[in-house]
Amino acid sequence: MQLPSTMKAMVLEQQMQPLILKTLPIPLPVAGQVLIKIIACGVCRTDLHITDGELTQPKLPLIIGHEIVGVVVKKGSAITKLNEGDFVGVPWLGYTCGKCKYCFKGKENLCENALFTGYTVDGGYAEYTVAYEQYCFPLNKKYANANGAPLLCAGLIGYRSYSMIDKAAETIGIYGFGAAAHLITQAAIFQHKKIYAFTRDGDYDAQQFALQLGAVWAGDSSKPSPVKLDAAIIFAPVGSLVPKALQDVDKGGEVVCGGIHMTGIPSFSYDILWEERSIHSVANLTRKDGEEFLKLAAEANIKTEIKLFQLHEANEALRQLREGKFTGAAVLMMPD
């Protein structure tokens, strides 16, 4: 296949500034990497935390984006698994060392030398990218398009958060009903859980959306839960939801914080944590999470609710996400 020598990309030159549309040379895959022609890339809240300066260590200039769906068009040396023409997904976890104490313990999500797609290495707001083969997920044809993009972070992080909950939990509260919530709700209902959806106060569109997906209840997050919950997952980056969720969960209940960044958590009285309630955070993902979740997504026939934007409209997509202007997930489409 004859490849062009340049590509279009939306580039972050400085945090707190809009992305800039640029023409750049197509990157070359090094040993262990493949070159991927991107079909679509999801827009994640983490992208906002990077552009808005809440995550402070990006490589600059940077191509953000870590929910990449594409097709392999060229292989570097030492490629053992993928072939040209294979559809792949590229997630946030771009590389781990395999040698540090976390990798040894099977916690590669905490690797000391990890590379993160669209943060410490270039990501998917572009027509092409390179990625390490061992960190790409082969994609089922059903998800080898814009619909698959949100699975690769919103879905994966949602799944890791959900996996931290006791398997016996029956009632689960979800706080912040966006991209991650709409995917993990479908998986949880498939596994016979009851979902209680808490949204920004007065966000009736999101509440309606949750009910359509099968949530048993949806309402304002400032209101008490109608039942004592077995567990809660917080996806909204709002620290005041932590004591709120602790008050909503039953004795022994778990509160899992699924985001990479959250506003400060207000102090709270010990009695809402007492009786063995717990708070847990989720960081990154392991490849095992990805394999398990993509299998579950196909079994549960998870459908993604997406709003499409063109690559050059990335700043608009980010603005709409920041302002909560749509339900589901935003996805950038690459030009043909």
Q: Which residues bind Zn ion (CB under 5 A)?
A: 44, 46, 96-97, 100, 103, 111, 153
Our CB check for Zn ion shows the closer of 96 and 225 to be 96
Compute the least distance from the CB of residue 97 to Zn ion, in Å: 4
Our CB check for Zn ion shows the closer of 253 and 258 to be 258
Whole-number Å distance between alpha carbons of 31 and 294: 26
Q: At what angle do helices 179-190 and 154-163 cross, to 10 degrees?
A: 50
Compute the least distance from the CB of residue 280 to Zn ion, in Å: 18
Whole-number Å distance between alpha carbons of 326 and 331: 12
Which stretches of the chain are assigned E, i.e. beta strand?
A: 6-11, 20-25, 33-43, 68-75, 87-90, 93-95, 115-116, 128-132, 137-138, 171-175, 194-199, 217-220, 229-234, 249-257, 278-281, 306-310, 329-333
Q: At what angle do helices 179-190 and 287-299 cross, to 10 degrees?
A: 60
Our CB check for Zn ion shows the closer of 100 and 164 to be 100
Whole-number Å distance between alpha carbons of 77 and 87: 19
Compute the least distance from the CB of residue 91 to Zn ion, in Å: 8
Compute the least distance from the CB of residue 123 to Zn ion, in Å: 10
Compute the least distance from the CB of residue 257 to Zn ion, in Å: 14
Is residue 83 classed exposed, middle or buried when 0-12, 13-18 and 19+ CB atoms within 10 A define those classes? Answer: exposed
- In terms of DSSP bridges, do strands 6-11 and 20-25 run parallel, antiparallel, or are they unpaired? antiparallel
Whole-number Å distance between alpha carbons of 198 and 212: 14
Whole-number Å distance between alpha carbons of 173 and 197: 6
Angle at 302 between CA 166 and CA 291, to 5 degrees: 65
Our CB check for Zn ion shows the closer of 143 and 196 to be 143
Compute the least distance from the CB of residue 282 to Zn ion, in Å: 11
Compute the least distance from the CB of residue 19 to Zn ion, in Å: 16
Which amino acid is present at 7?
A: M
Our CB check for Zn ion shows the closer of 163 and 278 to be 163
Our CB check for Zn ion shows the closer of 248 and 289 to be 289
As given in the structure block, the two tokens for residue 23 are: 């023409």
Our CB check for Zn ion shows the closer of 46 and 199 to be 46
